[in-house]
Amino acid sequence: MDLTPTPEVTAFREEARAWLRAHVPARPLPSLETAEGFAAHRAWEARLSAARWSVVSWPERYGGRGADLERWLVFEEEYWAAGAPGRVSQNGISLLAPTLFDHGTEEQRARVLPPMASGEVVWAQAWSEPESGSDLASLRSKAVRTEGGWLLSGHKTWSSRAAFADRAFGIFRTDPQPAAAGRPHRGLTYLMFDLRAPGVTVRPIGRLDGKPAFAELFLDEVFVPDEDVIGEVGEGWRIAMSTTGDERGLTLRAPGRFLAAADRLVRLWRGREGGAADTALRDRVADAVVGARAYELFTWASAARIAAGRAAGAESSLNKVFWSEYDIALHETALDLLGADGELEGTDWAEPYVFALAGPIYAGTNEIQRDIIAERLLGLPKGRR
Amino acid sequence: MDLTPTPEVTAFREEARAWLRAHVPARPLPSLETAEGFAAHRAWEARLSAARWSVVSWPERYGGRGADLERWLVFEEEYWAAGAPGRVSQNGISLLAPTLFDHGTEEQRARVLPPMASGEVVWAQAWSEPESGSDLASLRSKAVRTEGGWLLSGHKTWSSRAAFADRAFGIFRTDPQPAAAGRPHRGLTYLMFDLRAPGVTVRPIGRLDGKPAFAELFLDEVFVPDEDVIGEVGEGWRIAMSTTGDERGLTLRAPGRFLAAADRLVRLWRGREGGAADTALRDRVADAVVGARAYELFTWASAARIAAGRAAGAESSLNKVFWSEYDIALHETALDLLGADGELEGTDWAEPYVFALAGPIYAGTNEIQRDIIAERLLGLPKGRR
Amino acid sequence: MRFLLTDEQSDLARTLASLLAASDVPGVARAWAAGDLAPGRALWARLAKAGLFALAVPEEHEGLGPLPVELAVAFVELGRYGVPGPLVETVAAAALLPAEHLPALAAGDLAATLTLPGGSPYALDPHAAALVLTVSAQGGLYAAPGHGEPLPSMDPARRLAVPAAGGALLATGVPTAEALRRARLLTAAQALGVGQALLERTVAYVKQRTQFGTPVGAFQAVKHRLADTLLALEFARPLVFGAAVTTADGDVAAAKLAAGGAAYRAARTALQLHGAVGYTQELELSLWLRKARPLRDAWGTPAQCRAEVLARYGEAGRTATARLTT
Amino acid sequence: MRFLLTDEQSDLARTLASLLAASDVPGVARAWAAGDLAPGRALWARLAKAGLFALAVPEEHEGLGPLPVELAVAFVELGRYGVPGPLVETVAAAALLPAEHLPALAAGDLAATLTLPGGSPYALDPHAAALVLTVSAQGGLYAAPGHGEPLPSMDPARRLAVPAAGGALLATGVPTAEALRRARLLTAAQALGVGQALLERTVAYVKQRTQFGTPVGAFQAVKHRLADTLLALEFARPLVFGAAVTTADGDVAAAKLAAGGAAYRAARTALQLHGAVGYTQELELSLWLRKARPLRDAWGTPAQCRAEVLARYGEAGRTATARLTT
């Protein structure tokens, strides 16, 4: 067991830290869920990318640094510790890009990844449909074969970023036969499409705080050329599942985010008059510190297992439940520390609190994650699902 | 809405308080789960009974005072506030007696109730069997018809008080046909039997702290005369269910117990050096006070509804879940307040803590109670059970 | 001793509920949040006509009260339907204001808001109040000459501003403690109603929403979570009405703690069990979802209420929180 | 950076596990509880032969250590099998004792118990220890001349007594903090093992126990409760091993907090899901059930650990709890 970084990793950390210290905007950007904030975040991605910090774990030819998992985790830690902006390209980088690496063609990677890395093209995800939340296999939106490509029709929802993004990716039913025969996971195909193509209507949906953090997409015979099909036609479910796995695992939620949040919480607590005497709040602040450390070390252990060639598997469900509940508890503690200001919309903690509330819902509800933990990690009998 | 007692109720309260103040043993009796303690508690019951305080809500002819629900609640409050001993006759008083009032004959009541009231005969319950915990309908112990009565055979377990008690009551399968035909709730009969009758073997079971708080009963053709059948042969399930309802309801857990426990907890907290500054513990002590008050008022509301002729019904499941989890939390707080002494077997809090731990298990597990709450009070679909 | 609502009290709840059910309160609340106060004021007038504010005012000043139990009954309904505005504050102000203001307040013609010494620096919705009151530590009641820019709360139907210092002295030696008790009790009642609305809507939703071919409400995890939500609300309810009966400070703090906590728990449950759809502003549910936490903290955070419960425990004349009787 | 047990460390766990699996530890623990120490001492000797105590002693004193990671690995197994006796205390004492005692300790011939300044007044199992140690606030190490009557703990395999004051001064200026760190870290490891044993046994039980015609483990409420138990243990585990690597006070306190809490939660879960049968002394399960809470509190209650975590947070040279690197 070893927690000492090599000199190379330390050098990498210092390089990242120095760049971030010099470049992170002194004042937070406007919310990325507004038109103005979206543009500001896109500009930030361009700056990150120009210095090759936007996608450190990608190969150099697509704009990355070929960093291994250890460096990626170190970069994320520094990134969040520096108070750098949220990543508007997150969906593309952590959901679509891994799929292209695994299932895309070289032509697709060369075409899609560099503008994703630079923020020139921002991607939205288009998984859910109104009747298919947790139950993704019941998707109905379809793609019908046409000359040189496919025509998409249907209704997607909870498409995060779609209010302002450029393109989207999702799975569509290209063959209705298997579903009719009781095999709904078959006959689905993974496609990329343009949110400004004819036939696309984007209706932004206001989040709890009113910001259009996601949108509904109404698709009416939207043309998608064959070059924008990822992997084999009809294999979309299998391909999407590996992508979903990533969303739940390391790629979305590096510990740096939570370490930085716990750090801010401690500062808030220490800055509060008479705060230290209140052991009830102290205990919750301590729990946030311990939780961030636990998540960090859990992630290092996962990274070491992955580096040793062992797959992550169902442990990513433990991960998802932990960070999503951790994140809410931390932000609730912050609001309580703020006292009468805790309910104000305008504090630094309000938007992240609202964002945290969604954690147990998206990327597989925590109810489903607990079923997976019980069945796959503990071997308990499958219940009705 | 009115929380003011009438002068008569206040006079009753004062009479009870005066008697208890004069008679409650200055030092706690030995644990009622020991032979010595059992005898001491039985003697206490005799004293209570001689002054007609053992069963205040029973008719006078059986040893009671014909007190209404309000007086009964007032008596319980005073009883526990006075630090009076646990009730060794509890099983008989709160489980068997209500059944006899509803389903017994006058001959049975006259014969059974007075010695129960005086502690001369202490009753154990004999519901569970090794394969039937929550699932009572799957009982296998049987009663076979014989000249003038029945012969009991089978294996009962978790029979609380049975290590030292005199008699027991339970349900037995008198007709195997309905169960074989898929109707296991039919063909059961409610019987009383003597724990010292030929054919009865009592094997005490040590609780977590080693005390024989319950026993297994091995029954081998134990004769029960017809006069000890309660209600109609074959109707035992229906009869037992109404009894189980009482166990979960008002009769077992008067708020006085929890009010007194919260009071002791506050005293422990106030007596602790520097305790008031520890808001984490303060908050838990406050929660105990609030919980006791909530339980008290909830009970008064139930009593008022019952007095107005409305049945308690599934709300008793709310009651059960509340007090059982409340009781554990309160005792955990007490142990934490005790610091290094918290783990000692010999403190005033150790035995009640161990006792509290059983709360969510017996009288219908809290999992089952939550199913009942969801299905009967909220109308959610029945799941697999 | 009969700890049950009287028929008249139950009738009051029904009357208000049917008035509110016919009033498109969600629309009123959205308009209020957008700064259009007219529909809210119209609703305020209808509530006044039904006797709401009169319950807070003594008979000699053209009121019917003060009737804390009836007020608690009413505020449960106000919470349940999500009525916006400084309702609690107006009723609390009735305990402080000089007699000449009370007939107007009883008639619904005087919306007031206030801060109290030692409490939050913010007054709720001062832009919607005819009187913005402050009380000095010495018990002087002032009509604030203005207030800071109203700041948006995470509940869009609430705005908060710090009243300007000074202003006209309206009265001296006012009963601050009584105003705080009222505000705390009725916020508790309102929170209870909010929690009830959240639970009702969530139960209805999980019965109808299917996933994996089954109503979501058939899953045991969903059932147990809703059972716990009901449990918390049903044990908060007697505390709220008990506090209305005794008006003991410890009881009021206990009621606020329990009802506020139960409402926030109901909000978390409602959000989780609605899934993504619950997370949107569009669904009516958001009206209550965003109200639960501010109400949990208004006029007494959980920590403040817990401290009060213990400070009052065993107070002379009230054994226990108060224990019912002596 | 490779935060994984080495093959040698995994082998150590396996070796100890098979030694313990073959040692009827439940029987040993029952005898220990009944005052018959012989089987426990025999097991102690076998563990010593496998190298357990040598891990705590430097090589120059006939040990192999100190090796905190290996000790943590070992104590997880000791907890998992429920081994009784002052094991943690003996390993902590190795940090304090003068060199002449260390070879005997490494060889398993010296069982010690101790109290440390500012901690619990009780020493664990002094009747079973050859040395009962106390440390003065000034860092003087004393061999207590005796101890009070050992008091039974709610865990029958533990007895507690207050060491007599005074006695022979064995050393001065001893590293109290290091002894506390060891005791706390290894109690955390032991608690983790206890939690793991409780979870393993409960999972096995609910697969086999049927009610209403279904294995109890198919009910979603049961599944989710066990999932949460696993979650708590699996996030405590990296804290325990991380603390063994960094030996930072904040990390050690975090590990103790998390592992102790997870073990107690596992005990509550195990009890509830076993139902009545879990509530009996007879079932082997009770061996771990009754150990979880004392271990949660020994050498640092949750409150003490939380205070320590924050006191150490951001300490110079260790960013964050400590943050891994700088």
pLDDT band per the 50, 70, 90 thresholds, residue B248? very low
Same domain, B130 and B230: yes
Query: Residue type at B262?
Result: A
Could you tell me which of D293, D67, D320, D79 has the C-alpha nearest to residue A294?
A: D320
Whether residue A98 lies inside any domain: the answer is: yes
> CA-CA distance, B338 to A299, in Å (whole number)?
38
* Residue A271, domain CATH: 1.20.140.10
Q: According to the model, what pLDDT value does residue A249 have?
A: 44
- pLDDT at position B178: 87
Distance CA A131, CA A203 (A): 17
Q: Does D36 touch chain A (CB under 8 A)?
A: no
Distances (CA, A) of B149 to B191, B217, B228, B299: 10, 20, 8, 41
With cut-offs at 50, 70 and 90, classify the pLDDT of residue D52.
Answer: very high
CATH code for the domain in which residue B33 is found = 1.10.540.10
Region A39-58: mean pLDDT is 96
Across the interface, which of A293, A308, A322 has its CB nearest the CB of D321? A293
Cβ neighbours for A112, distance < 8 A, ≥ 6 positions apart = A96, A100, A104, A121, A192
Taking the alpha carbons at both ends of chain B, their separation in whole angstroms is 40
A277 touches chain B (CB under 8 A): yes
Chains touching chain B through at least 3 C-beta pairs below 8 angstroms are: A, C, D
In single-letter form, the type of residue at position A252 comes to L
CB pairs under 8 A between B and D: 91
Per-residue pLDDT for D131 more than 60? yes
Residues of A in contact with B280 (CB under 8 A): 279-280, 282-283
B286 has a chain A CB within 8 A of its CB = no
**What pLDDT does B251 receive?**
52
Pair of tokens at residue B348 = 């005033």
Mean pLDDT of the C179-204 span: 98
Q: What rounded mean pLDDT belongs to chain D?
A: 94
CB contact under 8 A, B374 and C314: no
**What whole-number distance in Å separates Cα of residue D163 and Cα of residue A210?**
65
The answer to whether residue A2 is domain-embedded is no
Task: State the pLDDT confidence band at D325, using cuts at 50, 70 and 90.
Answer: very low
Taking contacts as CB-CB distances below 8 angstroms, the residues of chain B near D282 are 205-206
pLDDT at B17 over 90: yes
Tens digits of residue pLDDT in A238-251: 998 776 544 444 55
Length of chain C: 326
Confidence at residue D193, expressed as pLDDT on a 0 to 100 scale: 98
Q: Predicted confidence band at D130 (pLDDT cuts at 50, 70, 90)?
A: very high
Residues B58 and B100 in one domain: yes
Tell me if B378 and C245 make a contact (CB, 8 A cut-off): no
A74, A294, A375: residue with CB nearest D239:
A294
CA atoms of C29 and D231, how far apart (whole Å): 42
**pLDDT higher for B129 or B253?**
B129
Give the H or E element holding residue A155. Answer: strand A149-160
Are A42 and A113 found together in one domain?
Answer: yes
Separation CA C149–CA C166 (nearest Å): 17
Instruction: For residues A214 and A362, give the distance between their C-alpha atoms in angstroms, rounded to a whole number.
Output: 12
D289 CA to chain B: closest CA distance, Å?
9
Task: Report yes or no: C266 and C172 within 8 Å, Cβ to Cβ.
Answer: no
Asked if A247 is an active-site residue, the reply is yes
Task: Write the CB contacts of A358 (distance below 8 Å, at least 6 apart in sequence).
Answer: A207, C276, C279
Name the domain boundary from A84, A101, A118.
A118
How many angstroms separate the CA atoms of A206 and A242, rounded? 29
Three-state secondary structure call for residue A56: coil
Percent of chain A residues past pLDDT 70, beyond the cut: 94
Q: Which of D227, D230, D242 sits opposite A3 (nearest CB)?
A: D242
pLDDT digits (tens, 9 = 90+) for B43-100: 999 999 999 999 999 999 999 999 988 999 999 999 999 999 999 999 999 889 999 9
What is residue A245's predicted lDDT score, i.e. its pLDDT? Answer: 46
> pLDDT tens-digit profile of A3-24?
999 999 999 999 999 999 999 9
pLDDT number for residue A276: 59
Cα D221 to Cα B195, B365, C271, distances in angstroms: 38, 12, 20
Chains that touch C (3 or more CB pairs under 8 A): A, B, D
CA angle B113, B118, B123 (to 5 degrees): 60
Q: Does B157 sit within 8 Å of D276, measured CB to CB?
A: yes
Maximal C-alpha separation, chain D: 66
SS (H, E, C) chain D: CECCCCHHHHHHHHHHHHHHHCCCHHHHHHHHHCCCCHHHHHHHHHHHHCCCHHHHCEHHHCCCECCHHHHHHHHHHHHHHCCCCCHHHHHHHCCCCCHHHHHHHHCCCCCEEECCCCCCCCEECHHHCCEEEEECCCCCEEECCCECCCEEECCCCCEEECECCCCEEEECCCCHHHHHHHHHHHHHHHHHHHHHHHHHHHHHHHHHCEECCEEHHHCHHHHHHHHHHHHHHHHHHHHHHHHHHHCCHHHHHHHHHHHHHHHHHHHHHHHHHHHHHHHECCCCCHHHHHHHHHHHHCCCCHHHHHHHHHHHCCCCCCCCCCCCCC
Model pLDDT for residues D156-196, shown as the tens digit of each residue: 999 999 999 999 999 999 999 999 999 999 999 999 999 99
Which pLDDT band, with edges at 50, 70 and 90, does C322 fall under?
very low
d(Cα A243, Cα A136) in Å, to the nearest integer? 13
pLDDT tens for each residue of A213-229? 889 999 999 999 999 99
d(CA A143, CA A228): 12
User: pLDDT tens digits, residue range C214-251?
Assistant: 899 999 999 999 999 999 999 999 999 999 999 999 99
Quick one: B157 and B86 in the same domain?
no
Would you state the pLDDT for residue B139? 87
pLDDT tens digits, D55-75 = 999 999 999 989 999 999 999
Q: Which of A241-245, A325-329, C76-80, D258-262 has the lowest mean pLDDT?
A: A241-245
Averaged over C149-167, what is the pLDDT?
A: 96
Contact C2 B2 (CB under 8 A): yes
H-helix or E-strand containing A157?
Answer: strand A149-160
Say if the Cβ atoms of B318 and C235 lie within 8 Å.
yes
- Two tokens, residue A129: 């449909």
pLDDT band (50, 70, 90) for residue B113:
very high
Cα A137 off chain centre by:
21
Same domain, A68 and A91: yes
Domain boundary among A118, A147, A171: A118
Q: Are residues B128 and B114 in the same domain?
A: no
> B262 near B289, Cβ under 8 Å?
yes
D223 neighbors A383 (Cβ within 8 angstroms)? yes
CA distance A241 to chain B (A): 29
D2 chain-A contacts, CB cut-off 8 A:
1-2, 304, 307
Question: Which of C115, C122, C154 to probe by mutation at the A interface, max A CB count within 10 Å?
Answer: C154
Helices (H), C94-175: 102-106
Contact criterion met (CB below 8 Å) for B296 and B289: no
The CATH number covering residue B177 comes to 2.40.110.10
Q: Which residue has the tokens 């052991």?
A: A279
Q: Locate the DSSP E strands across chain B.
A: 123-125, 142-146, 149-160, 167-173, 188-194, 200-205, 214-225, 229-230
What digits encode the pLDDT tens for the residues C102-114? Answer: 999 999 999 999 9
In a domain, B359, yes or no: yes
Question: Residue B327 has what pLDDT?
Answer: 97
pLDDT range class, residue A252, cuts 50, 70, 90: low
Among B91, B118, B145, the domain-final residue is: B118
pLDDT one-digit tens code per residue, C119-153: 999 999 999 999 999 999 999 999 999 999 999 99
* Backbone torsions φ then ψ of D16, nearest 5 degrees: -65, -40
As given in the structure block, the two tokens for residue A290 are 């311990």
Q: Is D219 on the interface with C (CB under 8 A)?
A: yes
Catalytic residue among A247, A296, A315, A351: A247
Is C303 an interface residue toward A (CB < 8 Å)?
A: yes
DSSP state of B2: B
The C-alpha torsion from A65 through A70 and A71 to A75, rounded to 10°, is 130
Residue B21, number of CB atoms within 10 A of its CB? 10
Contact (CB, 8 A) for C120 and A340: yes
Q: Does D230 touch chain A (CB under 8 A)?
A: yes
Spans of all domains in chain D: 7-174, 178-324
Predicted local distance difference test score (pLDDT) of residue B249: 44
Min Cα separation B332/chain C (Å) = 18
Same domain, B114 and B145: no
Task: Answer yes or no: is pLDDT of D316 > 50.
Answer: no
Is the Cβ pair B380, C2 closer than 8 Å?
no
- CATH T-level topology, domain D7-174: Butyryl-Coa Dehydrogenase, subunit A; domain 1 (1.10.540)
Q: Hey, are the CB atoms on D3 and A373 less than 8 Å from each other?
A: no
- Residue of B77, B129, B235, B247 marked catalytic: B247
Confirm or reject contact between B4 and chain A (CB < 8 A).
Answer: no
Distance CA C192, CA C187 (A): 8
Which two tokens mark D142?
């004393």
pLDDT band at D320 (very low <50, low <70, confident <90, very high): very low
| B215 shares a domain with B145 | yes
- What pLDDT was estimated at residue A200? 97
B276 band by pLDDT with thresholds 50, 70 and 90: low
Q: Do B3 and C246 touch (CB under 8 A)?
A: yes
Which DSSP helix (H) or strand (E) runs through A223?
A: strand A214-225
The pair of structure tokens assigned to C45 is 């007038």
A107: exposed, middle or buried (C-beta count within 10 Å: 0-12, 13-18, 19+)? exposed
Per-residue pLDDT for C324 more than 50? no
How many Å apart are CA A236 and CA A229, to the nearest integer?
A: 9
- Test B371 with C203 for CB contact under 8 angstroms: no
**pLDDT at residue B278, rounded to an integer:** 82
Domain identity same for A215 and A98: no
pLDDT, mean over chain B: 91
Give the C-alpha distances (Å, rounded to integers) separating C130 from A382, B273, C109, C143. Answer: 62, 50, 9, 10
pLDDT category at B309 given cuts 50, 70, 90 is confident
Same domain, B255 and B227: no
Nearest beta carbon to residue C122 from set A158, A280, A340? A340
Q: Residues B19, B82: one domain?
A: yes
The pLDDT tens digits of the residues spanning C268-310 come to 999 999 988 888 888 889 999 999 999 999 999 999 999 999 9
Chain D contact for C220, CB < 8 A?
A: yes
Touching D: which chains, 3+ CB pairs < 8 A?
A, B, C
Check whether D86 has a pLDDT greater than 70.
yes
pLDDT higher than 60, residue B244: no
Nearest by CB: B380 against C5, C69, C203: C203
Q: Which two tokens stand for residue B212?
A: 């024989």
- Reference C235, options D81, D70, B323, A84; nearest CA is B323
Task: Check C281 against A354: CB less than 8 A apart.
Answer: no
Asked if the domains at C7-174 and C178-324 fall in one CATH topology, the answer is no
d(CA A4, CA A9): 10
What band does B301 get if pLDDT is binned at 50, 70 and 90?
A: very high
Instruction: Say whether residue D13 is in contact with chain A using an 8 A CB cutoff.
Output: no
Rounded Cα distance, B336 and B343, in Å: 9
Q: How many domains does chain A have?
A: 3
Distance CA A184, CA C211 (A): 14
Looking at the structure, do residues A267 and A370 belong to the same domain, yes or no?
yes
Helix (H, G, I), strand (E, B) or coil at A198: coil
Q: What is the ipTM of this complex?
A: 0.94
Of C55-69, C275-289, D309-323, give the range with the top mean pLDDT: C55-69
Question: C283: closest CA among C301, C294, C271, C291?
Answer: C271
**Cis peptide leading into A198, omega within 30 of 0?**
no
CA B227 – CA B241 distance, rounded (Å): 21
User: SS3 of A201, please?
Assistant: strand
Determine the structural domain holding residue A291 and report its residue range.
249-377
Identify which of C6, C217, C227 has the shortest CB distance to residue B370.
C227
Q: What is the pLDDT of residues A157-201, one digit of tens each?
A: 989 899 999 999 999 999 988 888 888 889 999 999 999 999 999
Whether the CB of A36 is below 8 Å from some CB of chain B: the reply is no
Residues of B in contact with A280 (CB under 8 A): 279-280, 282-283
* Alpha-carbon distances, residue C128 vs C48, C147, C160 (angstroms): 16, 12, 11
- The CATH architecture that domain C178-324 belongs to is Up-down Bundle (1.20)
User: Taking CB atoms and an 8 Å cutoff, what residues of chain B touch A282?
Assistant: 280
Q: In this predicted model, what pLDDT tens digit does every residue of D264-292 receive, in sequence order?
A: 999 999 999 998 888 888 888 999 999 99
What digits encode the pLDDT tens for the residues A106-139? 999 999 999 999 999 999 999 888 877 667 677 8
For D281, which of B210, B336, B362 is closest by C-beta distance?
B210
Task: Identify from B269, B281, B368, B378 which residue to disrupt to test chain C contact, counting C C-beta atoms within 10 A and taking the largest count.
Answer: B378
Q: Tell if the CB–CB gap between B207 and D281 is shorter than 8 Å.
A: yes
Q: State the burial class of residue B244 (Cβ atoms within 10 Å of its Cβ: 0-12, 13-18, 19+).
A: middle
Confidence of residue B246 (pLDDT cuts 50, 70, 90): very low
